[in-house]
Structure 1
C-alpha cells in the first residue's frame, strides 16, 4: 500500500526507491555515453584540425617555393642570366673555376649583409666580408640597383678566365637576387691607397716593399695585356684597386669596366670613363683606349709610391692639382728629388730612385706611342730590384768586414800601438801621438 512489500527471506523492498535508483543509473549511463561521444568528437575535430593545418602548411610551403622559383627565374633573366648562359655555352668561359652560390648561403655568410661587414663602397657596388660554413673567408660584391648589369656580366666573364697570383680570384656568383652578387677570395690588408696614405709606423711601407708591389702590379698588367687567352684592358688602374694580401703582395681587383678584345684590335673607342687623376689625357681627348692607357694609370700609381702623395690635391674648393703633371714639371725643372718621400730617400739608392723616376716619366708621356709596354716595365722594374738588392747586400758585406776589422783592430792593434809609444819614448804621450799611430 505504501510502496513497501515483504519479500520472503529478505525483508521488505522499497519499490519507490527501486524505481528512483533505476532512473539514476540510467542517467549516469547516458551522461557517460555523452561524454565519450563528446570526447571522441573533440579528438576527431582536433586531429582533423591538425591534418588541415598540416595540409595548409604544405600547400603554403609548396606555393612559396613555386613563387620563389619564379622570382629567381625573373631575377636570373633581369640580372643577365640569359646573356651569361649564352656566353657560357660558347665555351669562352671556364665554368669549372666558379661556383653558383645560393642567396641563403651568402646571407648566412654575411649576417644578412650587415653594415658592420662592409669592406668598401664604390660607385656601382658594395663589398661585404663573409664566412662560409666550411670556414672560408670571402668578399661578396653586391651591385647596386642603378648599376649597369653589363658590368656584372663583364667582370664575371673576365675573372672566370684569369688565373694569376697578382689578380684577385673569383670564387663564384649568385643570380637569385634582385641585385646580382659576385664572390671573391678575401684579401685581408685592404688596398694600397689606404696603406700608403694612412701608414702605420709599426709596419711602414719601405722602399723595398714599394718596388716589389710596383713589380707585382706590372707583372699582373703584363699578363692581362699579353699572356691571357685574349688581351684585357683593365681601364681603372688606381691604388684603391690594388689590394694587399696577408703578406702584402699586390692583387689587382675591380674588373667591372675592363674589356676583353680581339688579338688584332689595337684600341677601343668607348665613352670616356675612369678616375680623375689616373685618367690618360690621350684617352680623354680621343675616346680611344689602348693598352698604353693602362700604362699611364700605372705611372700615376708609381708616382704615389715614390712621393707618398695622393693623386689629386685640393688646393681650394675651386682648384685641384694633379700629381702626375706636377711630377713631370718637377722632373723638367730638375727638382724631382724634393718631392720624393723621405723614407724612399733614406732607404733607396739615388741611382735606383732615378731609374724609377725615368720609368715614370716615360709612362706619363702625353703621346701614348712613346710609353713603354707593360712587358718592358716588368723587366726594367725587376732589374732595378735586383740592383737594389745587390747594392744592399754589398753594403751589408762591407759593414760586416769593417765591423770585424774594427773589432780586431780595437782589441789588438790599438793596445800594441799605444804600448809602443810608451816604450819608444820616455815622454808622456799626447793625443796627437796616439792618433797618428792608430789611423
Structure 2
C-alpha cells in the first residue's frame, strides 16, 4: 500500500488528482463519493465523466449530507436527475449530530485509490481552500486484506442504509424540497456572504495575512451557458416587472434594484472575454456608447452570474450625485423639471493592462469599475483601450488575479492578431446584446 499526503492548494489539488483517476483509460469497477457538502458547479465538473463510466458498467454512488445548509435544493434536483446513478442522502435528525465525512474512492481490478480528508465536493474543497487529505493506494491482490479492513470500517459511509441514509428518488426529492432547513442556491450565497471574514481589497484590514493561491479548473461550457441563460432570463423578468410597476404608479421602483436581487446561480470563471464597442468617447446613442474615452459596458448577466469574480457587492462603495447639484443638460431644459440623483457603486481595483503583440504597451493602474443604478449599467474605464487603438470587434480578456498587488489583468487583442480568432470562440452574442462575451 502506498500513502501520500495532499496539502491543498499549494501542494496538490485534490480535485485534479481525483479527476485524473476518473480520466484513466482503464475504466474503474466502482466510484464512490462521500461528502458532507456539495456544490452545484462542482458536480457539473464530474457529471459527464461519471455518466460515461456508469454507462460503461462502473458502479457509481454518491453519499451526500444536508446538514448546516451545505447542500442546496438545486443540487438535490440536479443529482436526482442523474438516475440510475445511486445518490443517497445521509442525515441523522438527532440534535447535535452532523454528517461530516469526505471520502473519494476509485476501484479497479488491480488497484483501489482512497482519498480521505477535509475536502468537500465543492470548488473550495477540491481546488481553492486550504485542505488536508491522505491518498491511499491499495495494490491488488497484495493489499486485499488491508482494503477489506478499510472498507469494513468505512462501510457506514460507503454502503449506507436506513434509517439515516435514503435513496434520492423523485418522491424523496419532493419531500426534501419542501423543507425550510435545506436552502436554495440564493439562500446559501447569502449565508456565505454573512459568514465571510476579512477583505482582501482593504489595506486597512491588517488582522489577517494574504498570499496568492491557485484557483479551480475551467468550468464545463454547458454549465456556464446554463447559468448565463437562466440569469439573463431572470434579469429580463425583473426589468419588465420594474418598468410595469413604475408605469402603473403603484410604487416607485429604482432600476438599481436589479443588482440587489439574488441571481439564480453562480459560476467561478477563469477569464472573461468581451468584444469592444466604441472607445472613442462618442456621444451616447441607442447602442449605449460611452462619452468617456476607453469606457466599456460589461453586460449585466456577466456580472450577475459571477459576482465573486467581479468583487460584487463587497468591494463597491456607494456614491450619490444629488440631482439638485447637477447642471441642466440643455439650455432649454425646464428648470422646474425634477432632477434625479445619480447613484453609483464604485470600486477602484488595480489592473494590469496590456496590448497583445506589443511589449511596450503595458501599464499597471487603478481602474474604476462601477454600477450606475439609474440605467442599470456596469462599466469600467481604461483610457488605454482608446490610446492603443481599440476598435469595435477587438477583444479584451479580463482575468481575476488576486496576487496581492494586482486584482485583474486586461489584455487587448486586435482583430488583425492571430490570437483574435481563438478568443472570439468565447464571445457569444446573447439576447439583446450587440457584442459577444463569455467566460472560460
Q: TM-score, normalised by structure 2?
A: 0.24
Q: TM-score, normalised by structure 1?
A: 0.24
Q: Select the structure with the greater relative contact order (CA < 8 A; seq sep ≥ 6).
A: 2
Which has the larger helix fraction? 1
Give the greater-gyration-radius structure (CA): 1
Which has the larger strand fraction? 2
